[in-house]
Amino acid sequence: MAPRTRTRTLTALLAPALALGATVGLASAPAQAAVWSSCDQWGNTSLNGYTLYNNIWGSGAGSQCVWANSGTNWGVWADHPNTGGIKSYPNAKKVINKPIASLTSLTSSYNVTVPSSGAYNTSYDIWDTDYDYEIMLWVNHHGAVGPLGSPQGSVTLGGHSWNVYKGDNGANEVFSFLRTSDSNSGTVDILPILKWIKNTKGWMGNETIGDVQFGYEITSSAGGLDFRTDNLTISGG
The ranges assigned to domains in the chain are 11-236
In order of 71, 91, 159, the CA distances from 50 in angstroms are: 5, 10, 24
What percent of the chain is predicted at pLDDT more than 90?
Answer: 86
Mean pLDDT, rounded, of the chain: 90
Q: What is the pLDDT of residue 32?
A: 53
Of 17-21, 71-75, 213-217, which range is least confident? 17-21
3-state SS of the chain: helix, strand, coil percent to 5? Answer: 10, 50, 45
Report the alpha-carbon distance of residue 37 to residue 74 in Å, rounded: 9
Residue 14: its H or E element: helix 11-14
In order of 89, 104, 137, 207, the CA distances from 58 in angstroms are: 9, 36, 20, 28
Per-residue pLDDT for 31 more than 80? no
Mean pLDDT for the stretch of residues 189-217: 98
Residue 191: its H or E element: helix 190-195
Burial class (CB within 10 angstroms; exposed 0-12, middle 13-18, buried 19+) of 220? buried
The residue among 27 and 64 whose pLDDT is bigger is: 64
Report the alpha-carbon distance of residue 143 to residue 139 in Å, rounded: 14
> What residue type is 68 in one-letter code?
A
What percent of the chain is predicted at pLDDT more than 70?
Answer: 86
- Dihedral angle at the C-alpha atoms of 198, 136, 92, 108, nearest 10 degrees? -60
Report the alpha-carbon distance of residue 118 to residue 116 in Å, rounded: 7
Give, in words, the CATH class of 11-236: mainly beta
> What's the pLDDT tens digit per position in 144-194?
999 999 999 999 999 999 999 999 999 999 999 999 999 999 999 999 999
Residue 174: its H or E element: strand 173-179
Mean pLDDT for the stretch of residues 49-78: 97
Residue 196: strand, helix, or coil: helix
In DSSP terms, which residues pair with 173 in a beta bridge? 133, 168
Measured in degrees and rounded to the nearest 5, phi and psi for residue 149 equal 100, -170
Q: What is the pLDDT of residue 237?
A: 78
